[in-house]
C-alpha cells in the first residue's frame, strides 16, 4: 500500500470547474434544466413520498420551468452569451434516465444541436437504468462529452433505508461499474450530516467512493427545507444540522480520503429562505461559506487525497 498526495495543494482539491476549462480551453457554464422526468421514488413505483430531504424546488429551481428543455437552454444562453462561449446542459431535477430510450432521445438530442454546447450532464438515480439505457449512453459518450450524476448520499444501506432512498449501495456500485466499462464519466452525490451517521460512517463513504471508478464527487451538507420530512424531524429535535466549523472539518476529512484524481464538483450546497431553507442558515451565504472553508483549508493544510490509500 502507498499514500498519495495532491501535486498542487494550493488548490486544496481537484476542481471540476478547472478540469472543464482545461478540457475545452475556455470557461464552461453548466446550465440546470428540467427534462420533465419523474422519479420512481415519487410516482408510486417505489414510494410516493420521495427521499426525506427532497424538495427539488429548493435544490433545483429548474424544476419549476415548464418550457421544453431546448427552449430553456436557448433562453439562458441568450442572457449569458456575452460572458460564456461553451455550455453543458445539465438535466438536474428528478431522475433523468427514468423512461424508455425513445423518451431520453427526445430530450437529450435537441440539446446537443445548440451552438456552443460541448456536452451534456444527466442527473439520475442508480436504479433508473436498463440495458438499452446503458447502450444509448455508451453511444452518446462517443459523440459528445457525457457526465452522469448519480445520487448515492451514503454508502450505508441503514442510512438509505432511514432516509427512504429506495435503492441500495450495491445498486450504485453496480451501475458505476457498468458505465465505467464504457468509459462514461460518473459523479456521486453525497451528503454529510444525516441523523444516525457517525463521523466514521461518513468517512467510510469517502473510502467506498475512492475504491470505485467514480470520476467525480459532489458533496452537500444536510439542509432542512420547508415541507420536507426532515422539517418534522427537525421540529421534533431528531435531527441537528451541522454548524459550519463541524461541516468544514468533516468535509476536509472526507476530501483527504478520496483519490487525488477524483473531480470535486461541489463542496457545499446552498439554498435561500425564499426557497424554503430553515437550517443551517449558513447555507444561504454561499460565498462567505466557501471563503470560510478555504481559509481553514489554508490554515491547516487540508488537501484532497492526503490520506488516500490504494489497495
CATH code, domain carrying 240: 3.30.750.200
Of 95, 160, 106, the C-alpha closest to 129 is 95
In the numeric block, which cell numbers belong to residue 122?
A: 444527466
The arithmetic mean of pLDDT across residues 161-175, rounded, is: 95
What percentage of the chain reaches a pLDDT higher than 70? 93
The arithmetic mean of pLDDT across residues 133-153, rounded, is: 98
For residues 35 and 76, the answer to whether their CB atoms sit within 8 Å is no
Query: Does the pTM exceed 0.75?
Result: yes
pLDDT in tens, 230-246: 999 999 999 999 999 99
pLDDT of residue 55: 72
Start-to-end CA span in the chain (Å): 6
d(CA 58, CA 271): 6
291 has a pLDDT exceeding 50: yes
d(CA 129, CA 133): 6
Is residue 116 very low, low, confident or very high in pLDDT (cuts 50, 70, 90)? Answer: very high
5 has a pLDDT exceeding 70: no
42 sits in the region (left: phi over 0; alpha: psi -120 to 50; else beta) called: alpha
Is residue 309 very low, low, confident or very high in pLDDT (cuts 50, 70, 90)? Answer: confident
Domain tally for the chain?
1
Number of residues that make up the chain: 311
Average pLDDT, the chain: 91
9 has a pLDDT exceeding 80: no
Within 8 A by CB and 6+ apart from 14, the residues are 6, 260, 261, 262, 263, 264, 304
Which residue range forms the structural domain that includes residue 187?
Answer: 3-309
pLDDT of residue 82: 94
Amino acid at each position: 500500500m502507498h499514500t498519495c498526495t495532491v501535486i498542487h495543494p494550493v488548490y486544496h482539491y481537484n476542481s471540476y470547474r478547472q478540469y472543464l476549462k482545461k478540457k475545452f480551453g475556455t470557461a464552461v457554464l453548466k446550465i440546470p434544466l428540467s427534462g420533465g422526468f419523474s422519479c420512481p421514488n415519487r410516482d408510486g413505483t417505489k414510494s410516493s413520498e420521495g427521499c426525506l430531504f427532497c424538495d427539488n424546488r429548493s435544490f433545483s429551481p429548474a424544476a419549476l420551468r415548464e418550457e421544453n428543455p431546448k427552449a430553456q437552454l436557448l433562453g439562458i444562453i441568450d442572457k449569458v452569451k456575452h460572458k460564456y462561449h461553451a455550455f453543458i446542459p445539465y438535466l438536474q431535477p428528478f431522475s433523468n434516465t427514468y423512461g424508455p430510450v425513445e423518451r431520453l432521445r427526445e430530450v437529450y438530442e435537441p440539446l446537443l444541436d445548440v451552438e456552443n454546447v460541448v456536452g451534456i450532464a444527466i442527473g439520475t438515480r442508480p436504479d433508473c437504468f436498463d440495458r438499452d439505457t446503458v447502450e444509448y449512453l455508451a453511444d452518446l459518450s462517443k459523440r459528445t462529452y457525457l457526465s452522469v450524476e448519480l445520487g448515492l448520499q451514503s454508502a450505508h444501506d441503514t442510512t438509505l433505508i432511514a432516509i427512504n432512498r429506495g435503492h441500495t449501495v450495491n445498486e450504485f456500485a453496480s451501475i458505476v461499474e457498468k458505465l465505467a466499462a464504457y468509459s462514461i464519466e460518473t459523479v456521486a452525490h453525497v451528503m454529510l450530516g444525516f441523523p444516525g451517521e457517525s463521523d466514521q460512517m461518513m468517512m467510510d463513504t469517502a473510502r467506498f467512493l475512492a475504491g470505485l471508478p467514480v470520476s467525480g464527487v459532489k458533496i452537500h451538507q444536510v439542509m432542512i427545507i420547508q415541507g420536507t420530512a426532515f422539517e418534522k424531524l427537525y421540529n421534533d429535535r431528531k435531527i441537528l444540522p451541522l454548524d459550519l466549523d463541524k461541516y468544514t472539518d468533516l468535509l476536509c476529512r472526507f476530501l483527504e480520503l478520496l483519490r487525488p484524481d477524483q473531480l470535486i464538483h461541489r463542496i457545499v450546497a446552498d439554498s435561500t429562505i425564499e426557497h424554503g431553507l430553515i437550517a443551517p442558515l449558513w447555507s444561504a451565504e454561499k460565498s462567505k461559506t466557501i471563503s470560510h472553508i478555504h481559509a481553514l483549508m489554508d490554515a491547516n493544510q487540508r488537501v484532497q487525497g492526503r490520506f488516500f490509500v490504494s489497495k
